[in-house]
Structure 1
Amino acid sequence: MLKVTNLSKCYGKIPVLDKLNITFPDSGVTVIVGANGSGKTSFLNIVAGLLDSDGGELSIDNIESGTETFKKMIFYIPSDFYLPEFMTGEEYGDFVLSRYINGNGKEFRMLLKILGIWEDRQVLIAGYSFGMKKKLQIAVGIASGAKYLLADEALSGLDFETVLLVEEIFSAISCRRQIVVVSHDTNTLLRFPTSIWIMKKGIMSRFHGGARELTESLTHEEGIHAKIAQIREHFNYS
């Protein structure tokens, strides 16, 4: 299991993560929601080793963060990623997968076909659209075989068909791997409702209820209700 203990992070004097504690099991899909600036991306960046924390501990099955073993048990799909544009999609995939013990080149190529970028596998990434780059990252992440797949808004910007396919893949592999998804998409919440966590002021709390209740909860907790009331009053809508 991935264990997070007293994780803290500040930007200047502003706390983003406040002694956060959470444990992720070895399998399943966990969805994290929260307002912009609530600490979701900072949390994923720290777990993935891209950002230093100010305190706390991370471990997977008692293997401490910072070690090569820990790093190879995680694959991260960030919301704003950079890919080496001098490589082809296929070259990039093979290079990344070579760093993972369970990297599966055959599965990677199968996923390229399923996600509709097989014909572009030998095209330089410089010629890829944003959606193609995201599909490539998703294919590599799944084929990496990493025990924990972290995804920050991985489905945003993708067409409807691709979203359905990726959600189906997540469901298929979640019996043996843990997928942690940051998302604001209601459909994602409906598809994976069993483990939803709300990030607020650097602390995560588990949510029990449906997508509608979650939307209402976030609306009130984040102060959006005042703006909604203003919109309804201005447009005479109820």
Structure 2
Amino acid sequence: MLDKRTKIGIWIATGLTTIVGAINLISAVTPSLQDRVHWLSEIFPFEVRSGGHLFAALSGFFLLTLATNLSRRKRVAWSLTIVLLIGSIAAHLIKGWDVEESAIALVLLVQLIVLRGAFTARSDRPSVAQGVRVLLGALAFTLVYGTVGFFWLDRHYQINFNFLEAVRQTLAMFFTADNAGLQPITRFGRFFADSIYIVGTVTLLYALFLLLRPVLLRGEPATEGERQKARDIVERYGRSSLAR
């Protein structure tokens, strides 16, 4: 049994993971401060800094999906979150020297490392329900990513988007041949428009993988370890003649 302090720590870590995921999403669609970009551009070219924005967006999605499993003390979720947090810290610094976002991610990283002994649960078996939940989350995440981006970044385009126009423009990126006539006027505007396709593709492919995984693994034979465990259970608890 976990003590009360550890349980509270896990709850806080779960909440912080959700917060960091949301921060990553918002930070990904926010241009960096010009005074910071000025000297960063001398070290990292635009392509590298824009890659930081893209990683922040994708890591935000995966952190949001991992938060629930952290609350259930899943070891794999803990490991993946650690990797994503390290990447997030680097991405925030590379894309715009965003020390504020990096500091929050670092606090969560330290907390998870301190609590590492509490995350011992094995992953659940794949299920279609899990895939459906992630699929809906992927669709919602992509829509929010595009909507918030167009709403905040309208100065990078030839139109000033209100909220509903930002929603329509995000949908148009996937359902119209000409992106509803979208015309970026800056390099960051072109990057963001392209990033919507990348974010949508990666998140939806991940959801599709989770949907198909139960089918793909249905016929997978038991491992030798699983067979031995079954034999041990029969030997220990079997009472009928069929168990001997």
Task: Please give the range of the TM-score, normalised by the shorter of the 2 chains.
Answer: under 0.3
By percentage of residues, which structure has more strand?
1
By percentage of residues, which structure has more helix?
2
Higher RCO structure, 1 or 2 (CA under 8 Å, sep 6+): 1
* TM-score, length-scaled by structure 2: 0.23
